[in-house]
Amino acid sequence: MIEIDIAVDLSHPAHLVWRALTDRELVARWFTEVEAVAEGEGRLLFHTAELAGYDASVDAEVTERREPELLALRCDEAGRVTRLTCAIIPTAAGCRLAVREVLEHGRWPAEQRAGREQYYDQTLTGRLPAILDWLAFQQVDLRSAEPAATAELPVTVLPAGGAARAGRIRRPVLLAVLAGAVLATGLGVWAVLPAERPDAAATDPAPLRMPTVASATARPPRAAVPARPTPTAGARSARPSATATAAPSRVTTAPAPAATVTARYRTVSTRIFGYTGEVVVDNAGTTAVKDWTVVVTLSKGGTIASATGADWQQDGQDVTFTGPPVAAGRSRTFTFDVRDPDPLSKAPEACTMGDAPCAGATPAA
């Protein structure tokens, strides 16, 4: 049995994820355009002909619908029949979306299945979380605590000496309101932009720079001073020996060999509140490497939503990745999806393998 099975953890409630799966306008923003078929109730036509892993548009029929837990469809793609299920399981941080597609009739080439699985992974870990963030932002009522609107701005009567203090208070409030308006405008512009095509060329970002911050109280080490011998009676009377002492031997230290296992990082996709990163572990040695560890330092408040190709564990801002062995002369790639409350953050603060920083992405040929 050929199947695709992908699960992603989302920091949003189940009802919001259900809306993103069942609202045709929202589905068009994170997956593909979809329209209702007039011939039958519960039938949909997904325009997937130009997407990776698809041959034609998909004629889908809803076979099971339990809001907000399960959505099942029977999909017919030019004679190839599959069953697609989307299960939503609540978690402590939000919910987990499990997507599974099983081939029931027809032939499914391996390269086509791999392309579809990759497209699922990109949309579920990149575009869908961005849509959910946008929906959640729309539901925040920034004026819920304000009184009813009036034709004129209210005037506050201040006691003597209070005008200067009120001016100081109003300025931060005004700046906060202006900042909120700018952010809301940016989200609105993003919401109406067309969804990016999966075959669009990605531009590699500049290599990460790993700054080292020296402590403000650190002092440079003092030069070593030879200990001064304590004078004794015998030392005072002793005369220097005429015998010449042998010159100290010089020890030549061979330079440390270059590391055979290195890592390089790049940001493969971005969204408003997060991004997807990729790390390639290269083994330039002549023997396989069984154990390797890459540590990625996220910005404050950043969290890992999911990862593919490696095991991970987050401790504060540091995320430790480990994975299968890397054969001699080969590479291993893993990706991870980051949720970041800072809309300007599009890469981690640091990426290291051992004591060496990860290199930037290799420019495309």
* Tens of pLDDT, residues 285-335: 899 998 899 999 999 989 998 999 999 999 999 999 999 999 999 999 999
212 pLDDT more than 50: no
pTM above 0.85?
no
Q: How far apart are CA 94 and CA 136, in angstroms?
A: 12
Percent of the chain with pLDDT over 70: 65
Average pLDDT, the chain: 75
Half-sphere exposure of residue 63, counting CA atoms within 13 Å on the CB side?
A: 12
Count of C-beta atoms within a 10 Å radius of residue 114:
13
- Name all domains of the chain by residue range, CATH numbers in brackets: 3-138 (3.30.530.20), 261-357 (2.60.40.290)
152 pLDDT more than 90: no
> Which comes out higher in pLDDT, residue 150 or 356?
356
Q: How far apart are CA 60 and CA 72, in angstroms?
A: 10
How many residues comprise the chain? 365
Q: How far apart are CA 156 and CA 153, in angstroms?
A: 10
> Which comes out higher in pLDDT, residue 349 or 153?
349
Looking at residue 360, what is its pLDDT? 80
What residues form DSSP beta bridges with 332?
A: 281
> Which comes out higher in pLDDT, residue 71 or 38?
71
Q: How far is CA 282 from the centre of its chain?
A: 21
pLDDT tens, residue by residue, 36-45: 887 767 899 9
Looking at residue 261, what is its pLDDT? 92
> Which comes out higher in pLDDT, residue 57 or 227?
57
pLDDT tens, residue by residue, 75-89: 999 999 999 999 999
Angstrom distances, CA of residue 194 to CA of 139, 190, 197, 295, 302: 22, 9, 9, 35, 27
Lowest mean pLDDT among 11-20, 102-111, 225-234: 225-234
Strands 303-308 and 331-339: antiparallel
Looking at residue 364, what is its pLDDT? 35
Q: How far is CA 163 from the centre of its chain?
A: 47
pLDDT tens, residue by residue, 240-254: 444 444 555 455 554
Looking at residue 42, what is its pLDDT? 83
Side chain identity, residue 152: E
R_g (Cα) of the chain, nearest Å: 31
Mean pLDDT of 11-23: 94
Concatenated DSSP letters of 307-329? EESSEEEEETTEEEEE-S-B-TT
Q: How far apart are CA 296 and CA 318, in angstroms?
A: 6
234 pLDDT more than 80: no
